[in-house]
């Protein structure tokens, strides 16, 4: 009886091992988890340093900007310096600095840009992707009279980035304040 059980066990084992020994593919396994979504994919073309020229209400000037992922790629940091030398439109000249952080708000499923200006303004924008870039429209602006709105439009084009900054007084439509044309240094 023991011999019969041993023989049956051997046949069962061979029957189970047969397909593997014959080169058949292994039994199906659960699908591998898919790669995580790269939330920053639309912004990756911006990463790095940019330089260019700006024109508009403060006059003609130069612009330096940097985009980099920080804090474990949870935020996109934006640093900007716009320099306007003394000129007819701006006799004293000026250096404008701002920095900001773009984050992804999971609850709203939207990108939010918080921008801090050397003049003391803090603007919170909601980002809307477009075919060629992004439009950031203000949700709130601190330290400015109530009702003002701001909008930044980024357009990625062959060889560069065009950024248009617009302001709207209470009850009025947007007017271009400045336009910057940037390229890689």
For residue 62, the domain's CATH number is 2.40.128.20
Q: Spell out the residues 6+ positions from residue 4 whose beta carbon is closer than 8 angstroms to its own.
A: none
Number of structural domains found in the chain: 1
Q: Is residue 135 part of a domain?
A: yes
Condensed to tens digits (0 to 9), the pLDDT of residues 22-40 reads 444 445 556 667 778 899 9
Q: What is the predicted pLDDT for the residue at 184?
A: 96
Residue 11 lies in a domain: no
With 90 as the cut, is the pLDDT of residue 158 above it? no
Give pLDDT, residue 87.
94
Q: What is the residue-averaged pLDDT of the chain?
A: 86
Per the CB < 8 A criterion, the answer to whether 63 and 54 are in contact is yes
**Widest CA span of the chain, in angstroms?**
110
CB neighbours of 41 closer than 8 A, spacing ≥ 6?
A: none
- Look up the domain containing 68 and give its range: 41-183
Instruction: Evaluate whether residue 8 is within a structural domain.
Output: no
User: Looking at the domain assignment, is residue 10 inside a domain?
Assistant: no
Q: Please indicate, yes or no, if residue 159 is contained in any of the structural domains.
A: yes
Residue 26 lies in a domain: no
CA distance linking residue 79 with residue 97, whole number of Å: 8
| Residue at 25 is within a domain | no
Answer yes or no: is pLDDT of 68 > 70. yes
Rounded-to-integer distance, Cα 46 and Cα 65, Å: 10
Residue 130 inside a domain? The answer is yes
What is the model's pLDDT at position 114?
98
Exposure string of 143-175, with b = 16+ CB inside 10 Å and e = fewer, is ebeeeebbbbbbbbeeeebbbbbbbbeeeeebe
pLDDT of 32: 63
């Amino acid at each position: 009886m023991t011999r019969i059980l041993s023989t049956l066990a051997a046949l069962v084992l061979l029957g189970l091992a047969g397909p593997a020994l014959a080169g058949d593919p292994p039994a199906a396994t659960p699908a591998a988890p898919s790669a995580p979504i790269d939330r920053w994919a639309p912004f990756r073309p911006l990463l790095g340093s940019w330089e260019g020229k700006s024109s508009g209400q403060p006059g003609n000037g130069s612009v330096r900007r940097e985009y980099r992922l920080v804090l474990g790629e949870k935020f996109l940091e934006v640093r900007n310096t716009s320099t306007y030398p003394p000129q007819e439109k701006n006799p004293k000249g000026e250096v404008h600095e701002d920095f900001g952080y773009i984050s992804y708000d999971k609850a709203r499923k939207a990108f939010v840009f918080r921008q801090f200006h050397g003049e003391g303004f803090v603007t919170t924008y909601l980002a809307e992707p477009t075919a060629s870039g992004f439009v950031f429209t203000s949700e709130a602006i601190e330290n400015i009279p109530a009702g003002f709105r701001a909008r930044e439009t980024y357009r990625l084009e062959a060889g560069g980035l065009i950024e248009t900054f617009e302001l709207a007084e209470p009850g009025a439509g947007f007017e271009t304040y400045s336009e910057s044309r940037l390229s890689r240094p």
